[in-house]
Structure 1
Amino acid sequence: MNIENQNTNRIFGLDLIRAIAILFVVFSHIYYLIDDKNPLLIALSGLFGYAGVELFFVLSGFLIGSILLKKYIDNQFSKKELFIFLKRRWFRTLPSYYLILMINIVLVLIFQYPNYSIWKYFFFLQNLFQNNITFFTESWSLSIEEWTYIIMPLMLYFGGKLIANKKYAFLLLSISTIVFFHLFRFYNYMNHQVYDMETWNSQVKSIVFLRIDSIVFGFLIAWFYYFKKEHLKKYCVYLFILSIHLFFLQFLFMNLLGVEIITYPIYFHVFYFTLSSLTFALALPVFIFWKSAKGIFSNLVSFLSKISYSMYLLHYSIMSVVVKYIVSELGINFNKLTIISIYLVLTLSFSYILYRFYEKPLMDLRDKI
């Protein structure tokens, strides 16, 4: 399976994951757009936003992990091959990122937002060890992905020199990476405890070196898909059911039981992310084996999947800010549904334009080089 060839060999289930993830993320910022202070909406926004990003992380880990695993097993893991891998990844992610970054910088200057550490955004350093994000706030997750693209190939390259069996080297190194970052979160907890969700959001959840394992969980699914495909297919529904139970346990029942950051800071600082990543990773196999679908729903899912990266880049720091500003300047008393409708139409339209006339041509060019 050529995972990178998304135009000719798409898997419907993975498209559906992308579509669900981007809709979750977009929904999570609706409350900001309409200035809604409803506690339930804000709570749901936080949950949907977190779930959407975690789905992207695990899916990205599966896709990237599958590419690296195939190269690893086929002994195509030379320095030259690593460079080719990074070049293809960067062709896919960096051009759109830098374009949107420049637009964000223009908006920062227009609206006079805090703009220190702008240079860090160009090297994905804005949240490497500490949070220096003052604008383009959704870029925190992109930094985690970009650093994972560098760290994991290097981990496999050097680790493979110590372990002769490539099959189990990949699995062992992936598990070791997850354990390392889990323990690193514990070390960070022992030296930097937080007791409120706002600080947790900025100083724990969005720090690169506290979150890389979220993506590496997808590497484990890639390994089982490659070596234990029939077993994974046989049990994928059971894994999905287990995932649903873990989801409700973590995000509903534990809240009802009074598990809060003030009372159980170690859970939110250390175990919360590991359990979340495991939950979403267990849900992934059932979608991997959902190869195709037909009809309008399938076409809509495919469309949202294709433009999901453009939507992620545009939807919040650019589209919501601009729409909110324009509505305010016009002085027209739009109802909330109208504002949301305008926002969604504009976000979808500009995301398609970005994808069709910028992102896709560059990906086509990448495939020719």
Structure 2
Amino acid sequence: MNALEKEKTTRIFGLDVIRALAILLVLFSHAYYLIDSSNPMVISLSGLSGFAGVELFFVLSGYLIGSILLRQYITDNFSLQSIFIFLKRRWFRTLPNYYLILLINLGIAFFLGYPSQNWYKYFFFFQNFKTYSISFFSESWSLSVEEWTYILLPFSLFFVLKFGNKLSKKWTFLSTILLLIVLAHILRYFNMKNSNITNMEIWNTNLKSIVIYRFDTILYGVLLAWLHLFYAHFLDKYRVYFLILAAHLFVLQFVILNVLEVDIISCPVYFLVFYFTLSSMIFFLTLPYFIFWKNSQSIFFTSVTFISKTSYAVYLIHYSIVIVIFKYILNQLSYKLASSLILLIYFGITFSLSYILYRFYEKPIMNLHDKN
């Protein structure tokens, strides 16, 4: 079996659908800024789509890395060497693209005169570890959350297993995940008691985008990986019901509570502690339906797979490179382009550059890693 055939047999189409959906939601979230729309409905939908897209990526990422880590944890003695092997694999997948795009963003910030103080923090993912120090490359906040969770999770599993291994590995793994989720809630609670977050703009930078308050979002995906390994039949049997429940919770959180005017002032405990819990549970309940969608003969198969494969590259370049430069060029023009044409160019450039990045940089590095 050659590499292409192997890839076709191991890819799960449902997860490609989730990746494609998530990145399209993120792409749409910045469209209003690009076309200078002041329509409040468009702005609200853009904010919702961006938030949902990133949260969906978080839970999906947790499921994927959780599946890898759990198999390693159960079948191996799970030593420090096991952790370093896991981290090396993740860093090979994520860091080459990140550092390349970071250097390009530094060049853009210098050229356009954007503030780039604290630029060194980006190299170590400290730009939003416990305080928000992001002045450019704004989408990097979510990558910091992911990278630090990749470190926190296996080392936590190692120490719990080493010093408290009275339970079997199956239950030790679950206990560790649940303890970390509780820890994130405790940190958010103390942050609520000791901070003054009174509007959603401050909430966005001082809570939503901070690593130490957000790592649990990825852990819900890890929890799903545990359920899939040990209780796959249960997930498969009730996956449609879970999807229906997720849809109802989505309407509750993003429609009904807004209609009822539940806000950060009237209900701070919800917004500052449990808002992300409900969001994560929505996507935690959504994923089982797609996990068991192994393949498809749909006419959209090729498009979905293409968008999925390039999704990481798209996420890295769509805003701080494509939109920033495109917006700069549009502002220099003496005439105004139609919004539909602007969006067509935006999507065309984004996917074209992302394919180039994926085909000639990301994929060769991954192939090199596989050979070694």
Same fold (TM over 0.5): yes
**Partners in 2 of 1:98 and 1:311 — Cα distance?**
15
Query: 344, 349, 354: which one pairs with 1:351?
Result: 354
Q: After superposing the two structures, state which structure 1 stretch, 106-115 or 321-330, moved more.
A: 321-330
- Quote how far apart the aligned CAs of 1:275 are: 0.9
Amino acid at match of 2:54: V
TM-score by length of 1: 0.97
**Partners in 2 of 1:116 and 1:219 — Cα distance?**
35
What residue is the counterpart of 2:311 in the other structure? 308
Query: 199, 202, 224: which one pairs with 1:221?
Result: 224
Deviation per CA, 1:237-293: give whole Å up to 9, x if none: 111111111110011001111101121122111010011111110111000001111
What residue is the counterpart of 1:60 in the other structure? 61
* 1:107 aligns to 2:108 (yes or no): yes
* 1:326 aligns to 2:329 (yes or no): yes
- Quote how far apart the aligned CAs of 1:46 are: 0.8
**Partners in 2 of 1:29 and 1:262 — Cα distance?**
27
Alignment CA distance shift 1:76-1:326 (3 Å) = farther
What residue is the counterpart of 2:3 in the other structure? none
Structure 1: 5+ residue runs without aligned partners?
Answer: none
Retained in 2: the 8 A contact 1:195–1:261? yes
Retained in 2: the 8 A contact 1:193–1:265? no
Retained in 2: the 8 A contact 1:82–1:153? yes
* 1:238 aligns to 2:241 (yes or no): yes
Amino acid at match of 1:292: N
Amino acid at match of 1:328: N
**Partners in 2 of 1:30 and 1:171 — Cα distance?**
40
Query: 264, 280, 284: which one pairs with 2:283?
Result: 280
Q: How does 1:142-181 map to 2 (within 5 A)?
A: 142-161=143-162, 162-164=164-166, 165-181=168-184
**Partners in 1 of 2:175 and 2:236 — Cα distance?**
22
Deviation per CA, 1:92-138: give whole Å up to 9, x if none: 00000000000000010011111110000000000000000000000
Q: Which stretches of structure 1, 4 residues or more, deviate above 3 A after TM superposition?
A: 5-8
- Quote how far apart the aligned CAs of 1:76 are: 4.2
Deviation per CA, 1:152-210: give whole Å up to 9, x if none: 00000111121241000111111111111011100110111311111101111000000
- Quote how far apart the aligned CAs of 1:79 are: 1.4
**Partners in 1 of 2:274 and 2:333 — Cα distance?**
47
**Root-mean-square deviation (CA), in Å?**
1.1
Deviation per CA, 1:334-358: give whole Å up to 9, x if none: 1111111111100010000000000
**Partners in 2 of 1:75 and 1:310 — Cα distance?**
33
**Partners in 2 of 1:192 and 1:323 — Cα distance?**
37
Alignment CA distance shift 1:12-1:125 (3 Å) = same
Q: How does 1:62-211 map to 2 (within 5 A)?
A: 62-161=63-162, 162-164=164-166, 165-211=168-214
What residue is the counterpart of 1:293 in the other structure? 296
Alignment CA distance shift 1:91-1:7 (3 Å) = farther
Structure 2: 5+ residue runs without aligned partners?
Answer: 1-5
**Partners in 2 of 1:353 and 1:78 — Cα distance?**
38
Retained in 2: the 8 A contact 1:315–1:347? yes
Amino acid at match of 2:32: Y
Alignment CA distance shift 1:22-1:113 (3 Å) = same
- Quote how far apart the aligned CAs of 1:6 are: 5.6
- Quote how far apart the aligned CAs of 1:62 are: 0.3
Amino acid at match of 2:134: I
Q: What SS does structure 2 have at the residue aligned with 1:104? A: helix
What residue is the counterpart of 2:20 in the other structure? 19
What residue is the counterpart of 2:265 in the other structure? 262
Retained in 2: the 8 A contact 1:127–1:208? yes
Q: What SS does structure 1 have at the residue aligned with 2:92? A: helix
**Partners in 2 of 1:191 and 1:6 — Cα distance?**
49
Number of positions where the alignment pairs a residue of Structure 1 with one of Structure 2? 365
Alignment CA distance shift 1:246-1:6 (3 Å) = farther
- Quote how far apart the aligned CAs of 1:327 are: 2.3
**Partners in 1 of 2:51 and 2:157 — Cα distance?**
28
Alignment CA distance shift 1:6-1:89 (3 Å) = farther
**Partners in 2 of 1:327 and 1:29 — Cα distance?**
15
What residue is the counterpart of 2:39 in the other structure? 38
**Partners in 1 of 2:264 and 2:24 — Cα distance?**
27
Q: After superposing the two structures, state which structure 1 stretch, 330-339 or 194-203, moved more.
A: 330-339
**Partners in 2 of 1:77 and 1:7 — Cα distance?**
30
- Quote how far apart the aligned CAs of 1:81 are: 1.5
TM-score by length of 2: 0.96
Retained in 2: the 8 A contact 1:24–1:51? yes
* 1:247 aligns to 2:250 (yes or no): yes
**Partners in 1 of 2:94 and 2:300 — Cα distance?**
27
